[in-house]
Chain A
Amino acid sequence: MLKIENLTAEIDGKQILKGITLEVPAGEVHAIMGPNGSGKSTLSYVLSGREGYEITGGSATFNGIDLLAMEPEERAAAGVFLAFQYPVELPGVGNANFLRTALNALRRARGEAEVDAMQFLKLSRAKIKALQMSEDMLKRNVNVGFSGGEKKRNEVLQMALLEPKLAILDETDSGLDIDALKIVADGVNAMRGPDFSALVITHYQRLLDHITPDRVHVLMGGRIVKTGGPELALELEAEGYAKVAA
């Protein structure tokens, strides 16, 4: 499904990704772990199409199509979703309006009928309930005044509504309390299936207790330095990056 080959990228002339090779087959969940500043968020932005990064080499394809040549909205329409490490506040933009606009934009791009306000309300209520969020969240401005955990849940709500084929979760567990972590993990697990892949970026093993990854990759200094099974996360937690990567 996602295939990254020898991808290099820089920002403001500074090389951050130094040759990433990684493949996530359909239906699999892969975890990426790595020290602060190693390039995890950079990779997620490059994959989802944020401006400001210069791709200096390599490739990234999604179901065989060149991801890097597409606009961010085209990637979203193709099924790529990024749950932001730092969700962006949008003062003056109502959450419900935002979610419905996004959902309908995707549906339009996929040739499906748009949902009206009533259908959307019904749909979003069900998802909100599953994530044990308050319906209030829909009435508020996107992420404005949301607590850290509420922002992360709002990201997962977006994922649940937009039903991507590839979800990149950038530290979605950070800032979540223990119960919320479980709820969010259940949200991700509910989407698992032969048509859904995920790249889960995290610093902590505890998320992986709930979302068992098929593979774990260690990203250090802009490169994948080690890949293993779920046990690699435990090893990292016990020994630290320096030792495991050595």
Chain B
Amino acid sequence: MNTMVTGAAAFLGRFEGLRERLPGGRTPWVAKLRAEAAESFRAQGLPGRRIEAWHYTDLGVLAQLGFTEALTLADEAPALPPARAAHRAVFVDGRFAPALSQLSAGAAPLAEALDATQGRLGALAQTLPIVALNTMLFEDGLVLDVPAGVDAGEMELLSFATHAGRAIAFHPRHLIRLGEGARLTLIDTSIGEAEATYLHNPVYEIAVAEGATLSHIRIQREGRAGFQLSTVLATVQAGGTYDNFTLNAGGRLVRNEIHVALQGPKAACHMNGAQLVAEGQHADTTTFLDHAAPDCASRQTYKTVLAGRSRGVFQGKILVRQAAQRTDGYQMNQALLLSDDAEINAKPQLEIYADDVKCSHGATVGALDEAQLFYLRARGIPADTARAMLVEAFLTEAIEGVTNPLAQEALSEAISGWWQKEAV
């Protein structure tokens, strides 16, 4: 009898079998980091619903699969969407694809640049089980440095998952660092072949120095049998800005965790996102905003559109530490239910230890407005188009914060693509 090893055991088994062959397997600091992560992951396993942070997202389906490593051949160049920016780093099944990429100065694949990342890789939140899983098994990723004072314009990061005929998992680790006053717009897209079953588990460690601005646009359009569990870990120093916009519009089950720590005075963060969830899909956005310094501002606007039998989750925690006086925090999450079988779970959370703060949050859940729909149709606009217009209008507030034209273009293509393919 042949029993398939699944869930956490499959990942741990893979680590035991591969540990010396993984990048840095013989480098003491990397080996130590991986061993500690493996220990942490062994103790925690894949997070279950009994853990509060995972109450609404059940990894049961994922735990039943026995993921193995990707086996991508370098000469199998998939049909990629055309590049938008001058520089693009392409990862196929989690591995850097040099022939498909145009790297900018300051960018390198992690598998090659690993030695230079000591002290930086693994600096943040290693105890999260999904991050530990990544640390244990990462093979590649993007290491990107924008030197102080440099405006690096736009750059693309593209992850492409191929159909391997079996369940594969890849755990890219991306390290992004902006020096003082540097600027970058990162258009970060994940796509996958329709039939491919895979887990994409990227972890981003992002450091934004004084006065620097990183605008990070994530467009998640994984294949319909794909899973994505992503974790963004970002720190922002005085006067710096980290902006994250995440579009969740693909995959079977997706969770995006975004942890941002505002560590210097007058740092700022805008976290916006849209989740477009169709029949059979599950999308989870979980944010954690850590206000650790005075005079910082954070803004979050999340919109979730749900069609068919689908489920959406938004969890947003704002922590205002004692030192974070005059914090200005705002969080809004809104859901639009296009079907009676869709469900949204929203959990905002404020934890405030400073006394002079301005923090607010709100949530709404609603359906399309019949009066609005009729108004459009009475003007001759077909019902489908009318619905699409109202959904787009619903998303406007979250999307209008994205001002970079290339990013806007990428977003609006992804949204109209979703509508044409998925909407009812």
Binding site for B on A (CB under 8 A): 48-52, 71-73, 75-77, 81-82, 84, 87-88, 90-93, 98, 101-102, 105-106, 109, 158, 162
Contacts and interface: CB of A to CB of B under 8 A. Distances in A.
B396 interface: yes
Nearest to B393: A92
B73 interface: no
B389 interface: yes
B385 A82 contact: no
B381 interface: yes
Q: Chain B: interface secondary structure?
A: helix
A73 B396 contact: no
B382 A92 contact: no
B377 A90 contact: no
B393 A105 contact: no
B375 A90 contact: yes
A84 B380 contact: no
Contacts of B377: 49, 71-73, 76
Contact of B381 (A49, A52, A73, A87): A73
Contacts of B382: 73, 105
Contact of B380 (A51, A93, A106): A106
Contacts of A105: 379-382, 385
A162 B374 contact: no
B400 to A, nearest CB: 9
Nearest to B382: A73
A110 to B, nearest CB: 9
Among B374, B378, B393, B394, which residue has the most Cβ atoms of chain A within 10 A? Answer: B378
Interface of B: 370-372, 374-383, 385-386, 389-390, 392-397
Contacts of A91: 393, 396
16 contacts: A50-B378, A51-B374, A73-B383, A75-B378, A76-B377, A76-B380, A88-B374, A92-B396, A92-B397, A93-B390, A98-B379, A98-B389, A101-B381, A101-B385, A105-B382, A162-B380
Among B380, B382, B396, which residue has the most Cβ atoms of chain A within 10 A? Answer: B380
Contact of B393 (A52, A73, A84, A90): A90
A102 B375 contact: no
B378 A51 contact: no
A47 B134 CA distance: 61
Contact of B392 (A52, A92, A109, A162): A92
A72 B397 contact: no
A218 B383 CA distance: 34
Contact of A93 (B374, B378, B383, B389): B389
Given A71-B377, A73-B386, 17 more contacts: A49-B374, A50-B374, A50-B378, A51-B374, A72-B377, A72-B378, A84-B375, A87-B375, A90-B390, A92-B393, A92-B396, A93-B389, A102-B379, A105-B382, A106-B379, A158-B379, A162-B380
A76 to B, nearest CB: 4
B385 A88 contact: no
Nearest to B386: A73
Given A93-B389, A93-B393, A105-B385, A162 B379 contact: yes
A141 to B, nearest CB: 8
A71 B376 CA distance: 12
Given A51-B370, A72-B374, A92 B381 contact: no
Contacts of A90: 372, 375-376, 390, 393
A49 B376 CA distance: 12
A48 B378 CA distance: 7
A142 to B, nearest CB: 8
A109 B393 contact: no
Given A88-B372, A90-B372, A76 B378 contact: yes
A93 B378 CA distance: 16
A64 B53 CA distance: 63
B408 to A, nearest CB: 15
B380 A88 contact: no
Contacts of A71: 377, 383
A49 B386 CA distance: 15
A193 B377 CA distance: 26
B381 A102 contact: yes
A93 B392 CA distance: 8
A76 B372 CA distance: 16
A91 B377 CA distance: 16
A11 B371 CA distance: 15
Given A92-B393, A93-B393, A101-B389, A109 B372 contact: no
A88 B379 contact: no
Contacts of A82: 378
Contacts of B374: 49-51, 72, 88
A203 to B, nearest CB: 22
Nearest to A88: B375
B336 to A, nearest CB: 11
A102 B393 CA distance: 16
B222 to A, nearest CB: 27
A34 B392 CA distance: 40
A106 B380 CA distance: 6
A109 to B, nearest CB: 7
A88 to B, nearest CB: 4
B290 to A, nearest CB: 31
Nearest to A93: B393
A143 to B, nearest CB: 9
A102 B397 CA distance: 23
A106 B378 CA distance: 11
Contacts of B378: 48-50, 72-73, 75-76, 81-82, 84
Nearest to B384: A73
Contacts of B395: 92
